[in-house]
Structure 1
Amino acid sequence: MAAQAEPIHDIAHLGSVELFTPKPEESLWYFRELLGMEVVHRAKESVHLRGYGDYATSTLKLTASRNAGVGCVAWRAASPQALERRAKALADAGLGIGWTNGDFGRGRSYRFRDPDGHTMEIYFEEQKFVAPPELHSNLKNLPQKYTGRGVGVRRIDHLALLASDVEANRKFATDLLGFQLREQVRYDNGKTEIGSWMSPTAIHHQLAYVVDVKGAHGRLHHFSLWVDNRDDVLRAADILTENGVFIEAGPSKHNNSQGFYLYTYEPGGNRVEIYSGSFLVTAPDWEPVTWNEEERGTGTYWGATLPDSFIQYATPDVEGKGELAKTPEFPVFF
């Protein structure tokens, strides 16, 4: 048996996600009042928020911008030494942007771009959340009390990015960042990599790359927030509907990841998923699961078929209908 390369464990987990929004006040209302996240900091054109179960001070940054989309995706390193190792590897690969002094709640960070152009950074030093008296929980192991406001999302979970070349971006995540591949979708007898789901943790996936049918670059498909159970997803559907928020898909269950989901658009235009279920991967020798066209079907285990917008729409939005449109030959791949 051929010797396998030693796994890279330099990335601890997804740290935070920055979302651009052309409607900052309306987006803030959505995440704070409807989803129940807490505002912890404001700076110039940005607002920092957190879920009640996130241990870090901030895990979501909303930044006013002309167009919706994803800003900087931040990953926490496992140690200061891990940060230095990954920074060197990324610089050597020609993907580095350079060092910064860090965003709110974080220390020195190394910025880079993935092969598709998404901006990311790695950091280690992080400010842990210390709850003020009004947010103090009686549970010593809970960073913040559950306020019961809105949906009450517990934590950030994952994000899905679009890429013109999924294979190149998947190899970047596994070879340079050390992510573990969980599942894939491959079409044309395995020749075409449509989507890959990866994680540096036991969480099924914290990052997915899926083909951009419009051939654009640097776009966001969705950002996902975790709730504890299916009932919370159903409750979210009621809360969002009562407040006039468009529900694009769900509540339903994915076949890939086994996740129970609800997809909506926040007022700025970004797709947001309320997510639960799924499964953990603790096996160090996990064998990635590969799905083909027939096995994937509509992309759901049960529930309504995902709409055409699920393939065609992403942020920032671009005009034109992609060549890989939803047809019998190219079914929905999520």
Structure 2
Amino acid sequence: MAMTGVLRPGHAQLRVLDLEVSRKFYRDVIGLVETGTDKQGRVYFKCWDERDHHSVVLREADTAGIDFVGYKVLDRATLDQLERDVRAYGLETERVPAGDLLETGERVRFQLPTGHLFELYADKKHVGNGLGQVNPAPWGPDSERGMAPTRLDHCLLYGTNIAANKKLFTEVLGFYLVERILGPKEAGEPEVAIFLACSHKTHDIAFVEYPEPGKLHHLSFRMPTWERVLRAGDIMGMNNVPIDIGPTRHGTTRGETIYAWDPSGNRFETFCGGYDPYPDVEPITWTHDGFGHGLDYPNGKLHESFLTIVT
């Protein structure tokens, strides 16, 4: 598909309880590349194969969770147009000045109906992946430290009124619905989870209906193969990382996965696989009684921790 409009997940700022413990965990255990610290004390990371300056920002706080997520758009003209479109839709926006995040241009920020702060940006410094642009090797030293994910793949966010989020993302921001999960028949089978893409991935962002706004379920890190997901599981075991689910395979999105928690209790995922949808596909539906296999296909099990623990 032609890549226009919103291109991909760009960054997420997480709240962590102990910055130095978290810095070591994200750098040495997950295997991200540390790219800077700003005047506020926030620490910046990227996955080894990402070209932009950062995709994960850590901020020390009294509670864990997510401050905001940012998605990269094609160019500045696209950023300006999307801001006009969001305003015309009825949401207030604010311009966050260039330099507020290290090596990042001006950002357009607004609050989603689910209570999350969402932002769009066009410019971030290109730092490369350490392999060069001419005759590069297929991998380098940063690709072997820790779990070594290749990129920030998506996020799953919990909050109120995901129906309004779906309308905003599909009618204004150019995303399309790939999969959905329905609630119980006695409740009228409402959509309780939606998986949205701006690319040809199974999801670039997903939302689950939840009584509290603005909650993080997980950040997902892309692994190149199932074997690398399993290797990540070994590294979790070597470092006593608490695992939520996995290794297993989703029915939903067909992804292969392990979910675990960082030292602050923020859940993260090591993810690979899936399939390649395009905007003309008919969305896949998972019924309430079938979602056990959607979550954990081999076991057909709804894991209570997965459904209830968020930050």
Structure 1 stretch 37-46 or stretch 305-314: which is displaced more?
Answer: 305-314
Partner of 1:93: 89
- C-alpha contact 1:179 1:199 (8 A) present in aligned 2: yes
1:279 and 1:308 map into 2 onto residues whose CA distance is 27
- C-alpha contact 2:260 2:269 (8 A) present in aligned 1: yes
1:95 and 1:29 map into 2 onto residues whose CA distance is 38
2:54 to 52, 58, 61: 58
- Aligned pair in 2 of structure 1 residues 139, 157: CA closer, same or farther (>3 Å)? farther
Unaligned stretches of 5+ residues in structure 1: 1-6, 316-334
How far has the Cα of 1:225 moved from its partner? 0.2
- C-alpha contact 1:129 1:143 (8 A) present in aligned 2: no
SS at match of 1:225: strand
How far has the Cα of 1:8 moved from its partner? 10
2:189 to 187, 191, 195: 191
SS at match of 2:144: coil
TM-score w.r.t. structure 2 length? 0.91
CA deviation profile, 1:7-37 (whole Å, cap 9, x unmatched): 9942111111111111211221211001111
- C-alpha contact 1:259 1:278 (8 A) present in aligned 2: yes
1:304 and 1:193 map into 2 onto residues whose CA distance is 20
2:140 and 2:55 map into 1 onto residues whose CA distance is 14
> Is 1:167–2:163 an aligned residue pair?
yes
2:243 to 223, 241, 247: 247
> Is 1:231–2:231 an aligned residue pair?
no
- Aligned pair in 2 of structure 1 residues 175, 8: CA closer, same or farther (>3 Å)? farther
> Is 1:39–2:37 an aligned residue pair?
no
How far has the Cα of 1:220 moved from its partner? 0.5
Partner of 1:128: 126
SS at match of 1:302: coil
1:50 and 1:34 map into 2 onto residues whose CA distance is 14
1:229 and 1:294 map into 2 onto residues whose CA distance is 30
- Aligned pair in 2 of structure 1 residues 42, 63: CA closer, same or farther (>3 Å)? same
> Is 1:22–2:20 an aligned residue pair?
no
TM-score w.r.t. structure 1 length? 0.85
> Is 1:211–2:209 an aligned residue pair?
yes
- C-alpha contact 1:8 1:177 (8 A) present in aligned 2: no
**May I ask how many residue pairs the two structures share in their alignment?**
303
SS at match of 2:81: helix
Paired-residue identity, % = 26
2:78 to 48, 71, 82: 82
SS at match of 1:117: coil
CA deviation profile, 1:36-57 (whole Å, cap 9, x unmatched): 1110010122100011111211
1:273 and 1:130 map into 2 onto residues whose CA distance is 24
More helix by share: 2
